[in-house]
Structure 1
Amino acid sequence: MSARNRPFVQVDVFATSPYLGNPVAVVLDGADLDDERMQRLARWTNLSETTFVVAPTVAGADYRLRIFTPDGELPFAGHPTLGSARAWLDGGAVPRHPGRVVQECGAGLVTVRPGEDGTLAFAAPPLVRGGALDEAYLSEIVAAFGIGRDRVLAHQWVDNGPGWAVVRLATAEEVLALEPDLSLVPDAMVGVIGAHPDGSAHDFEMRTFAPRCGVPEDPACGSMNASVGQWLTATGAAPAAYRVSQGTRVGRAATIQVTADADGTVWVSGATAVRIRGTVTI
């Protein structure tokens, strides 16, 4: 198949100021592209994720989204979900159902809804793995973080597709001070969260590390915040609505809003803005 020009955008996700969120590259016409060409572009963009919009295969979906890191495909990821929905809407597409976009991906159907303030929010998909981490894996994580086991307040599998695990520390200051040695956990997908002091602009600080996917530190991670939100709100460790800061240590300023509905559905929302618009030849 010969190469052709396809609509292409880059979207800044989770930041209200330009170029301080997490970018995602979106190919709005991924029709007839094979896995190898998708992966090649994702490796070349060198962003945490590059996505491809293709025709849905499930009734009721607006589109199907293929999500690639530099090293492989993911069944689900949060900031690419919001960024791709923004790119799709910005391109003039109209959802099948007023007021919501339905994305098909490896994790199933994911609903995205617009907020009155121009943000987008996605409904957290169900976990594929939960429960406490085993002590052997937790020992590897704390060794990589360079901290003692006694610093961990709680820990959990929060896997909604990518393979996430998380540990909770007492303070945001402790989270920001970490200097992880990811060579000790080369296959990990792990996050760490800690509370900001009362009265701060954000309730928690989050950092996420994905060496398995070739992403040392993700500037802002929607999927991690979604599953951690399910855990924290269900256990009462966080209120039904809270704000997370992420990306501080990598020069970003992301804000993620997490909200749990009365029925337990957790929504993850944030700002999205198209910053680059053009075509890509694939």
Structure 2
Amino acid sequence: MEGSTAPKTRPYSEVDVFSSEPYRGNALAVVHAADGLSTEQMQRFAAWTNLSETTFLLPPGSSAADYRVRIFTGKEELPFAGHPTLGSAKAWLDAGGALRPGGMVIQECAAGLIPIRLEGDQLAFEAPPLTRYGPVEEELTGRIAGVLGIPREQILDASWLVNGPQWIGVRLASASDVLNLQPDPGKAGNLEIGVVGPYGPGAATRFEVRAFVGGDPVWEDSVTGSLNAGLARWLTDTGFAAPPYTASQGTVLGRRGRVHISLRDGNIWVGGHVTSCIEGTVRL
């Protein structure tokens, strides 16, 4: 049975994910050498950091992996999440982890083994399979329109895109429609809604993305790897996008998130810049 330990000093990092400009992406807290911490201790610390996610690095359970990670929001543990995957890999490498041949790292998490590749000055992960993928029932689509504060007919398509988080993808006609959304948090319940719309020709990015997460607390996520992974699979399969492309996210929050999508051997890869911002220790 997992037990708690007395506090001790552990290496600690905070990194910024999905922006080439430090402090304009999505922050991640990383606790290294997390052996011996209980689930309760991890959850309590993740709530205390007040970031969208906090990760804990552990020795791998699989001989095929370089390290194991546990991923927590302020209220729950996730089997997989995108920006924590890239951020944890960066923190692990900065702490002395070595790349495999071909610039690869293999991360172990509750969703399985996740390949991560260093590509120039960016890291990219291979998106895990969607565990729920398909049309959204009409009643729920209408409810989502109410949450987003738009008429039902403004939603051109919707799909379940579950890969850890319970994302529902929503496609609108344009990036400006996405940017102009003024959702009502009081109607969100426990829904996790990802909205995407295209920019016109000549724009710096192909799509604008926003992510709304219901529950307590309710917030808009600044840049979301898992959502963009699901959206890329959906948009590619429906012929609405042809990787490689870049999506922007976090614009309305004053961020400059850039998520780079590529397709290799039929698999979606999700990449971006990761910057180390804080290094030190934590008593935990």
Task: Report the TM-score, using the length of structure 1 for normalisation.
Answer: 0.97
- For 1:29-44, what aligned pairs fall within 5 Å after superposition? 29-44=33-48
Q: Which residue of 2 aligns with 1:276?
A: 278
Q: Which residue of 1 aligns with 2:25?
A: 21
Q: Which residue of 2 aligns with 1:87?
A: 91
The yes-or-no answer on 1:101 pairing with 2:105 is yes
Q: Which runs of 5+ in 1 are unaligned?
A: none
Q: Which residue of 1 aligns with 2:70?
A: 66
Q: Secondary structure at the match of 2:42?
A: helix
- The aligned amino acid for 1:139 is G
The yes-or-no answer on 1:153 pairing with 2:146 is no
* CA apart distance, 1:62: 0.8
Q: Which residue of 2 aligns with 1:211?
A: 214
Q: Secondary structure at the match of 1:41?
A: helix
Provide Cα deviations, 1:40-98, integer angstroms capped at 9, x if missing partner. 11101000000000111122011111000001100100000000000000111124555
Aligned equivalents of 2:61, 2:186: Cα separation in 1: 39
- The aligned amino acid for 2:245 is Y
- The aligned amino acid for 1:84 is S
Aligned equivalents of 2:71, 2:173: Cα separation in 1: 33
* CA apart distance, 1:140: 1.1
* CA apart distance, 1:212: 3.5
Aligned equivalents of 2:243, 2:255: Cα separation in 1: 26
Aligned equivalents of 1:184, 1:218: Cα separation in 2: 17
C-alpha contact (below 8 Å) 1:67/1:73 kept by paired residues: yes
Q: Secondary structure at the match of 2:28?
A: strand
- For 1:138-217, what aligned pairs fall within 5 Å after superposition? 138-212=141-215, 214-217=217-220
The yes-or-no answer on 1:266 pairing with 2:275 is no
- The aligned amino acid for 1:5 is T
Provide Cα deviations, 1:90-136, integer angstroms capped at 9, x if missing partner. 111124555211111111110000002x1000000000000010111
C-alpha contact (below 8 Å) 1:15/1:270 kept by paired residues: yes
- The aligned amino acid for 1:136 is E
- The aligned amino acid for 1:167 is V
- The aligned amino acid for 1:221 is T
Which deviates more from structure 2 when the two are superposed, residues 187-196 or residues 98-107?
Answer: 98-107
C-alpha contact (below 8 Å) 1:69/1:214 kept by paired residues: no
* CA apart distance, 1:214: 3.4
- The aligned amino acid for 2:280 is G
Cα gap change, 1:21 to 1:166, in 2 (>3 Å): same
Specify which of 108, 115, 124 is matched with residue 121 of structure 1: 124
**Alpha-carbon RMSD:** 1.1
Q: Which residue of 2 aligns with 1:112?
A: 116
C-alpha contact (below 8 Å) 2:85/2:125 kept by paired residues: yes
C-alpha contact (below 8 Å) 2:103/2:119 kept by paired residues: no
The count of residues paired between Structure 1 and Structure 2 equals 280
Q: Which residue of 2 aligns with 1:246?
A: 249
Moved over 2 A (4+): 95-98, 212-215
The yes-or-no answer on 1:227 pairing with 2:230 is yes
Task: Report the TM-score, using the length of structure 2 for normalisation.
Answer: 0.96
Q: Secondary structure at the match of 2:195?
A: strand
Aligned equivalents of 1:95, 1:18: Cα separation in 2: 24
Q: Secondary structure at the match of 2:189?
A: coil
Q: Secondary structure at the match of 1:232?
A: helix
Aligned equivalents of 2:215, 2:161: Cα separation in 1: 16
Aligned equivalents of 1:98, 1:85: Cα separation in 2: 15
- The aligned amino acid for 1:132 is P
